[in-house]
Structure 1
Amino acid sequence: MAEHAVSEGTKTITKLAEHAVSEGTKTITKLAEHTVIEGTKTITKLAEHAVSEGTKAITRLAEHAVSEGTKTITKLAEHAVSECTKTIAEHAVSEGTKTITKLAEHAVSEGTKTITKLAEHAVIEGTKTITKLAEHAVSEGTKTITRLAEHAVSESTKTITKLAEHAVSECTKTIAEHAVSEGTKTITKLAEHAVSEGTKTITKMAEHAVSGGTKTITKLAEHAVSEGTKTITKLAEHAVIEGTKTITKLAEHAVSEGTKTITKLAEHAVSEGTKTITKLAEHAVSEGTKTITKCTNSKNVL
């Protein structure tokens, strides 16, 4: 009977102990799973919050960077002076500067070609106009001289004729004919000389006007294009360099600050999550230990 009692008691204790271990294990498992879930939720929330705050910080700093960069570019463009020009000349190494220079050279080349073509066209058209006017002047002058010459000859002839009609001797007739001949020759020579000299004078003055006007237009156009291109190139290069520096500095600052914020929040999230998991795990072990102890005590009582 004693052996049977011991055997039955041992079986009972074994069953209770196994039950206690099983229940304690279930409790620990549940609490551990709960701990992991709660810790994961906490970490997730804190991580999401960290990302959100970091994103906001980066966005604010980026917007500020763009705003400040824009203000800097505007101020530099409005107040470009000799010192800025020196700085630009010393630091003109960027691809942006090369691109602007190429475009400026292309603009000068194309502008020069256009001005040259227009100048040539102006010279051609001006020459045509002057030529036409000169030809017209010569033509009209010739007509006027011819009419006056013909009138002079006619009047002289009439006068001479009248005198000849009243001349008595053959000598008078001879003198009259000679007078007409010599008068006509003199008038013709003077008329031809007048036409020749007038034409030469008009031609020289026209050529001089075209040449002088063309030189003046070309010089002024080249100077205007050259000075305008230099000014635009200097201001554009300076604005690009200074704006790029400002945006780069602010962007780097924004990334740095955002990274610090995210790092701090992430570290805080991990720390808080670890604390939560540790507390829940300690609680689970404590509860499981209590449960096992109770079950063991119950078996011992039995």
Structure 2
Amino acid sequence: MLSPAAALDPEPASAPVPDNVPAGTSASPGPPERPRGRCAPPGLEEALSALGLQGEREYAGDIFADVMVCPALPQMALPRTVTPEMRALVVDWLVQVHEYLGLAGDTLYLAVHLLDSYLRCSRVRLHRLQLLGMACLFVACKMEECVLPEPASLCLLGAGSFSQAELLRAERRILSRLDFRLHHPGPLLCLELLAALAGSNPQVMLLAAYFLELSLLEVEAAGWEPSRCAAAALSLARRVLHVAGSGLEPALYSPAELGPLEPCMARAVLRGPAPGRAAIFLKYARPQRRGTSLFAARLLRCPQPGPP
């Protein structure tokens, strides 16, 4: 496993974004959020059933409102000691730990959300950044997992860079700084709901999941709402595959609102397995995920022709 303490190689220049991806300004946090109603879109109960949530159909509208209207974090402002490259390296390492432990997908997204939330309100010494990332993952496990990893095993995965006592102290600092505000409906659930509503096929869903997970490495993507990240990933996946949805789809965001985020995801895909950013690429290159990352960049450069 890579360690965030390792020296960083210079990041290669970003590949140009293809013409089929809308242009946007990465420095802008995006347009202000449009007011959206709490009305459940048609087909929501069926979509929840397709996700195995039949028991929640009575509360479908409340679930949709809670998940899809979740506000964004303030625009990312990293401490002076933490660069975007160092943050990406820690997130990349958390992806490796998350996959090694076989944790739920929502656990990873919550851990990165807690990491970003803490970085916005507290100073962090550079040599403690790996400890902070692991403590955020530990807290996320307590929120999302049925079986918790042992603190001692997490310390072993840290290659001895912190002790069990330090991990528990870091956990207490996180809870105190964030005032125990840990609930966060992550973009993965948003993506599953939107894909089920649109009737997206498994190939579109897998490609969108790859785009969405790659966005965890990008500082600018942390400033958008979870539902916007999910909608951008699904929109980009459907466009490069030239696949239309077969069901109803709520119009949560206009193309102009998704514009700034889609190029961010496209640049992450075209960058490929850069030093310190290879874990997600390798994860989606495996047969279990149909080698999605191996052809994603080619799809962005040369989209598949549409149906006749």
TM class by shorter chain equals: under 0.3
Tell me the TM-score normalised to structure 2 length. Answer: 0.20
Higher gyration radius (CA) = 1
- Bigger RCO (CA 8 Å, 6+ sep): 1
